[in-house]
Structure 1
């Protein structure tokens, strides 16, 4: 679907924008040349203006990150549609509240994730990537290694990489000791 930017361009021009930057790509792409160029040109006393908040940030955390970066550069931010202006006290407050809520949500998610992982571990569930070699394959590799078969041949027989075979044999050796 082709985006028509005329409505946005007209609104930004009517609001007094000197320069208009555009990205004509999917909203999920993180590398956006128009945004990068706009941010590079923002400096002390400038105001980055967008038509809607979703035109700037890919997600709420990304939006907050961009606004914080602008603030460090002493650059303001204004959203026409949401009527937010960080150059005014009310707009600045709104962004601090949104940022605090985003940080709070991140902390809650991290806490729930850690609690979930701890609960799984306590039930004996192995967390992480599935092992490349089963216990039977490791036993087979160990038995084959003793008669003098080369590790690369054992890896090929068990259908794993040579380094995976070495790591599994070393781990098994550590358990036996």
Structure 2
């Protein structure tokens, strides 16, 4: 038994409602029994209708969009959506590309997209590594301070207020061992109190 065709449309930041209506018309013409209309621009990170569409899709159903850029904002975003569809046993159809992931040709195209997405991620990681290596050579790389060490001031403040190590650890979400380490470290670096050398006048 064939599944449902579920359409998803998202407003264009340029043509707005006119584009949304055009998408709805194309999706209805493609046989979509239900269409989720996203009326937020791409700068808005929330996409409630996308989540509603993915929640409504079941095994054997197909999510249909007019264009790829109406569905995903990046290659990584597309891969996430495809992964969610795969878990549900659903497919994706993109009208403008004549792409249907339920066909061998469509699956091949998706595999190529996955390879491109992985290539992009590898490039980003490689550039980060090169940047860090260069900064180290030039003496500019400091690195990220451990989470607990960044909370030294808060640990000391709570300790001075009389809080126990376990309470401090729970409040700051760090280990009790880290609290003790910070307290010992600050205690060893604190300047000793200056002795009172005023002669006794009695």
Query: What is the TM-score normalised by the length of structure 2?
Result: 0.62
Paired with 1:28 and 1:68, the residues of 2 have a C-alpha distance of 23
Partners of 2:17 and 2:122 in 1: CA distance: 36
CA distance in 1, matches of 2:55, 2:87: 13
Q: For residues 22 and 143 of structure 2, what CA distance do their matches in structure 1 show?
A: 48
Q: Which runs of 5+ in 2 are unaligned?
A: 1-12, 145-159, 161-181, 191-202
What is the CA–CA distance in structure 2 between the aligned matches of 1:103 and 1:173, rounded to whole Å?
48
Aligned length: 140
Pairing 1:1-177 to 2, within 5 Å after superposition = 2-4=16-18, 5-127=20-142, 170=186, 173=189
Bigger relative contact order (CA 8 A; separation at least 6)? 2
Gaps of 5+ in 1: 130-150, 152-165
2:36–2:53 CA contact under 8 A, matched in 1: yes
Deviation sequence 1:95-124 (CA, Å, 0-9, x none): 111111111220121012112112111210
Q: Describe the SS at the equivalent of 2:36.
A: coil
Matched-pair contact (CA < 8 Å) for 2:132–2:141: no
Once residues 103 and 62 of structure 1 are traced to their aligned partners in structure 2, the CA distance between those partners, rounded to angstroms, is 12
Q: How far has the Cα of 1:91 moved from its partner?
A: 0.7
Indicate conservation of the 8 Å contact 2:57/2:90, yes or no: yes
CA contact (8 A) 1:50 1:79 kept: yes
Provide TM-score, normalisation by structure 1.
Answer: 0.70
Deviation at 1:30, TM superposition (A): 2.4
For residues 13-41 of structure 1, the C-alpha deviation after alignment (integer angstroms, 9 at most, x for no partner) is 11000000011111132221110100001
